[in-house]
Amino acid sequence: MAVIEKNNYPFHRVCGEYISNEVKPFLESIDCFPHALQPASIDKLTVTAPSGFSLQARLNMGAFGISRYAFDDFLKTKAIEAGATVIEGEQINEVQKTKEGFMCKSLTQKFYSGKLVIGAQGKRSMIDKYLNRSFVQQRSPYIGVKYHIRTEHPHDLIALHNFQDGYCGISKVENNTYCLCYLTTRENLRKHGTIAKMEEAVLYKNPFLKKLFTTSEFLYTTPEVINEISFSPKSLSDHQVVFCGDSAGMIAPLCGNGMAMAIHSAKLLSESIIQHKDTFDENKILKMYQMKWNAHFKHRLRIGRTVQKLFGRNSTTEISLRLLSYFPFLLSWIISKTHGEIVVSYQGTFHSSHTRPGSSDH
Ligand SMILES: Cc1cc2nc3c(=O)[nH]c(=O)nc-3n(C[C@H](O)[C@H](O)[C@H](O)COP(=O)(O)OP(=O)(O)OC[C@H]3O[C@@H](n4cnc5c(N)ncnc54)[C@H](O)[C@@H]3O)c2cc1C
């Protein structure tokens, strides 16, 4: 099996770096939980409105906090230990069905063949354009910005601070560092010209954010920034390439479990592939995967899109938070509906915790 990544590990990326514990038992069962990196343990949530009104909740399932810089590199090492070849610095820009399977071509004109191609290219990539996927035609209004900071903040708390046209999460990762990450609109940035000016004019209106931005130590000089974040529904397959993670569908970052969903969808897909490992019949693999994917994620993504609409505007955020403060069970319901059940380890003869699901030759 080969993993082809356009960047070189380790690298920073825009992400809140809060991973729902729904995948912890599964990661432990395949020896991929990063205990040695000492992730933070998070089980409390605070949500604030731009006015400073705040709401607290306990997170029953909880989460762990770890930087993508450390976690992705750790997973790369695990993939190599499990027998995968990891090819870095190679961007795939074409994929074609052949008689034997598939052929991928990279920007550097190298060719890679295999019986099956899994598209795990994230929210949006040049390969989506090549495959002419429908969501690529629509521009998305969102941008994401991330910093690593040192600050005074409880180690077990994730705070979601809302501001006009966006929200900002803060929670602990490894090494006494905190991840400060926000989502806002391109229009917000356009209006204010630069990220720094936008932060001062808009984010600072929330008193919690003003304190965080003005009293913390920022560990990089410029933030990580991404654009074109789309929550539109996507297809699970195009041109017989099967997608998992964000390339199959992205949940609003506010729900805080895109990574858990990406890991879970990879597990569902690998189960479907292993089930059909004798024929590698993509139609059968896709049918089984689609059924499982819909059962686990379709409803969750829809709720995520609704939650995304409630927050990020001053008036609706304030009203939603005040309403939720009177009906705390509603907040627990939203949290439970946007998070899944605990993902169990591989089961059955081909799924023992020592079986490496990706270790077949493709
Ligand atoms: C602002 C923001 C905050 C978020 N906060 C959280 C959070 O706190 N918790 C959480 O669980 N989720 C969060 N998410 C969501 C989370 O980041 C994603 O759901 C998760 O990263 C999806 O994983 P993935 O493997 O599908 O995609 P990615 O992590 O994006 O990985 C895709 C990989 O494919 C590579 N790639 C792309 N195209 C090509 C190509 N053509 N050839 C080769 N390589 C390619 C990319 O370089 C990348 O490394 C957040 C998202 C945003 C935007």
Q: What is the pLDDT of residue 360?
A: 35
The pLDDT, as a whole number, for residue 347 is: 58
The phi, psi pair for 4, rounded to 5°, reads -115, 120
**Residue 100 CA to ligand 1 centre (angstroms):** 30
| pLDDT one digit per residue (tens) for the chain, 362 residues | 999 999 999 999 999 999 999 999 999 999 999 999 999 999 999 999 999 999 999 998 999 999 999 999 999 999 999 999 999 999 999 999 999 999 999 999 999 999 999 999 999 999 999 999 999 988 889 999 999 999 999 999 999 999 999 999 999 999 999 999 999 999 999 999 999 999 999 999 999 999 999 999 999 889 999 998 888 889 999 999 999 999 999 888 877 789 999 999 999 999 999 999 998 898 999 999 999 999 999 888 888 888 877 776 767 788 888 888 877 777 777 777 777 777 877 754 334 333 333 333 33
| Cα–Cα distance for residue pair 260/173, rounded to 1 Å | 16
Give the C-alpha separation, 350 to 82, whole Å.
15
Supply the residue whose CA is at minimum distance from atom 26 of ligand 1.
245
- Is the minimum distance from the CB of 14 to ligand 1 under 6 angstroms? yes
pLDDT of 351: 40
pLDDT of residue 348: 40
Ligand 1 atom nearest the C-alpha of 171 is 8
Atom of ligand 1 nearest to the CA of 245: 26
Q: What's the pLDDT score for residue 312?
A: 64
CA 121 to centroid of ligand 1, rounded, Å: 8
DSSP 103-148: EEEETTS-EEEES--EE---S--HHHHHTT-GGGGS---EEEEEEE
Those residues whose C-beta lies under 8 Å from the C-beta of residue 315, and which sit 6 or more positions away, are none
Q: CB burial class (10 A; 0-12, 13-18, 19+) of residue 283?
A: exposed
pLDDT computed for residue 20 by the predictor = 95
Burial 109-133 (b: 16+ CB within 10 A, else e): eeebebebbbbbbebbbebbebbeb
| Residue among 6, 12, 104, 228 to mutate when testing ligand 1 (max atoms within 8 A of CB) | 6
Model pTM? 0.92
Residues 47 and 53: their CA atoms lie apart, in Å, by 8
For ligand 1, atom 4: residue with the closest CA: 15
Q: How far apart are the C-alpha atoms of 342 and 61, rounded to whole Å?
A: 8
Pocket of ligand 1 contains residue 181 by CB under 6 Å: yes
pLDDT of residue 349: 35
Structure tokens at 225: 């920034």
Q: Are 151 and 160 in contact (CB under 8 A)?
A: no
Q: Tell whether ligand 1 has an atom less than 6 A from the beta carbon of residue 257.
A: yes
105 Cβ inside 6 Å of ligand 1: no
pLDDT of residue 234: 93
